[in-house]
Structure 1
Amino acid sequence: MLDSYEKEAYEEVLLWIRKLKKPSTLTQSFTKNVQTKLNHYMPKKVHQAMGAAVKNMTESVINGSEYFPDKKYEKAPSLREADKQLEDLLSVFKKGAAAEGAGTGAGGIFLGAVDFPLLLAFKMRFLFSGAALYGLDVSDFRDRLYLLHIFQAAFSSSTKRRETAELLESWDEYVSDKPRKLSLAKEVDWVVFQQEYRDHIDLVKMLQLMPGFGAVVGAAANYHLLGQLGEAAKQGYRLKWLSETYDLNR
């Protein structure tokens, strides 16, 4: 049976799933429209840098071990301890991302564009390190696929978030017939993955590329975006922990 902490955690997971399934708000729709317009004014080199960054990140997830966590990250003895260690880890990554965003943001539009791949690397290293705390095996491509869906839950459109939520709820069934060495290249539509992520970058993140106040905006944006990913990771990892430990009858 779930203990009191696990019951509370499971209720938070269910609330998070419900939020993922909600349609976009008027504010989110307005922000999306503004982002789309701003994209038209960004130099072609910036768009190319962003596209290359996502492509390189996805290739690293598919083929390499660049983001594998240090051996010091091991499965915690309890869900409560895993949550605590994840919060500590997130605090470190948020501060690091904020400092990096401030530095690149101070350089204006082209140096600010350099921040895009650096921030992606921060996000993926955080996801991989956090996964180890909850017992996920990142050498298992099925668990890597789970991490990519957590990423999409944090950074995608309302339609894609809803699809992702439904998939996470039935994850065991989804991967039941998939091999440990499944091909991520075939399992993920990388064109959609890239576009969803790029389209979801907060308006404040776009402002980081503007000369004059990019340093302040860059620090705040990176801190916020790591926090956004941290919430998705916490709830997504909790869901996997609980589903593998108990029969939750999802």
Structure 2
Amino acid sequence: MNDYELKVYDEVQDWKRKLTRRSGMMNRISKKAQGKINEIIPEKVHEVMTDSIKTMVKATLFGSQMTINRNAAEGLTLEERDELVRKKISTYQKTAMVEGAGTGAGGILLGLADFPLLLTIKMKFLFDAASVYGFNTKEYAERLFILHVFQLAFSSDEIRRNTLAEIENWEERKQVLVEMDWRKFQQEYRDYIDFVKMLQLVPGIGAFVGAYANNNLMKTLGQTAMNAYRLRILQKAPEL
């Protein structure tokens, strides 16, 4: 193992420690409040929302798979792959900011349209990242991994720790994982972004909030994806 891989291994371990820390008090209070709200939402509404998100995500996965360049990073070192992914994160952040500002400035109807548009941008990035790190998204297990990376980026403390454990042991876990828990997937993502996306609908500040929020959400996803794929590549500590 070279010096760069040793450096990456240390970075991934630090990322894991930060990821498993307990959230701040405000985040915990917000999550508790959202949990109470979810309890009073009728079951039929939960079912409709879950089916809608499932359909939307699967359609986005299919579309992203069709447009991916699978040979873009062939023959690159890990350092070169990391640099390419950083550039992609920056590009996708700019795209997400423009989309967020546009829908945020357009009032409630366009603000609501931001949800599927941003979801598409995020999924397209995840397919690009998988390709850069050399994973074949034609395989069902790799598309399932992408959904786990997404869930890892946007979830509460307990779900985040459980998802990290799945990713750390992916070669074993993928043998028994058949399908996502779509109810949990949609609820965690919705709870994670609800507050800031509601602010995006407020006249006068919607454009600023939309651009700022989408930039940060894309940054979070980018860092999560980069480290999740590095984690798979460097399963054990590099030898000096």
TM-score scaled by structure 1?
A: 0.82
Matched, 1:235 2:227: yes
Paired position in structure 2 for 1:107: 106
Counterpart-to-counterpart distance in 1, 2:151 and 2:172:
19
Cα shift at 1:58? 2.7
1:104-147 Cα shifts (integer Å, max 9, x gaps)? 10011221010010000000000001110000110011111111
CA distance in 1, matches of 2:4, 2:212: 32
CA RMSD in angstroms comes to 2.8
Note the C-alpha offset of 1:187.
2.1
- Alpha-carbon shift at residue 9 of structure 1 (Å): 0.7
What corresponds to 2:183 in structure 1?
191
Q: Is the 8 A contact 1:123 1:226 kept in 2?
A: yes
Say if 2:168 and 2:232, in contact at 8 Å, map to a contact too. no
| Structure 1 CA distance for aligned equivalents of residues 153 and 192 of structure 2 | 9
Using the TM superposition, give the Cα deviation of residue 53 of structure 1 relative to its aligned residue in structure 2, in angstroms.
5.8
Pick from 67, 73, 76 the counterpart of residue 64 of structure 2: 67
Is the Cα–Cα contact under 8 Å of residues 71 and 131 in structure 2 kept in the other structure? no
| Equivalent residue runs for 1:106-185 within 5 Å | 106-175=105-174, 177=175
**C-alpha separation in 2, matches of 1:53 and 1:82:** 35
Shift of 1:25: 2.2
2:155, 2:188 within 8 Å by CA — same for their partners in 1? yes
Q: Deviations over 1:14-62 (max 9, x none)?
A: 12222222232213113435767999xxxxxxx999767623333226x
2:80 aligns with: 81
| Residues 1:28 and 1:19: Cα distance change in structure 2 (over 3 Å) | same
The amino acid that maps onto 2:204 is: G
Distance 1:38 1:95 in 2: 33
Counterpart residue number, 2:213: 221
Ranges in structure 1 where 5+ consecutive residues have no aligned partner? 40-46, 179-183
CA distance in 2 between counterparts of 1:79 and 1:240 reads: 12
Q: Hey, what does 1:28 align to over in structure 2? A: 27
Q: Deviation string for 1:196-242 (max 9, x for gaps)?
A: 11111163332101222101110111111000000101100111222
Say whether residues 1:200 and 2:192 are aligned partners.
yes
Distance 1:33 1:240 in 2: 33
Q: Report if aligned partners of 1:90, 1:227 keep a CA contact under 8 Å in 2.
A: yes
Q: Distance in 2 between matches of 1:144 and 1:78?
A: 23
Question: Structure 2 regions of 5+ residues with no counterpart?
Answer: 39-45
* C-alpha contact (below 8 Å) 1:75/1:134 kept by paired residues: no
C-alpha change, 1:206 and 1:108, in structure 2 (3 Å) is same
| Alpha-carbon distance in structure 1 between the residues aligned to 2:74 and 2:160 | 27
Using the TM superposition, give the Cα deviation of residue 169 of structure 1 relative to its aligned residue in structure 2, in angstroms: 1.5
Q: How much does 1:76 deviate?
A: 5.2
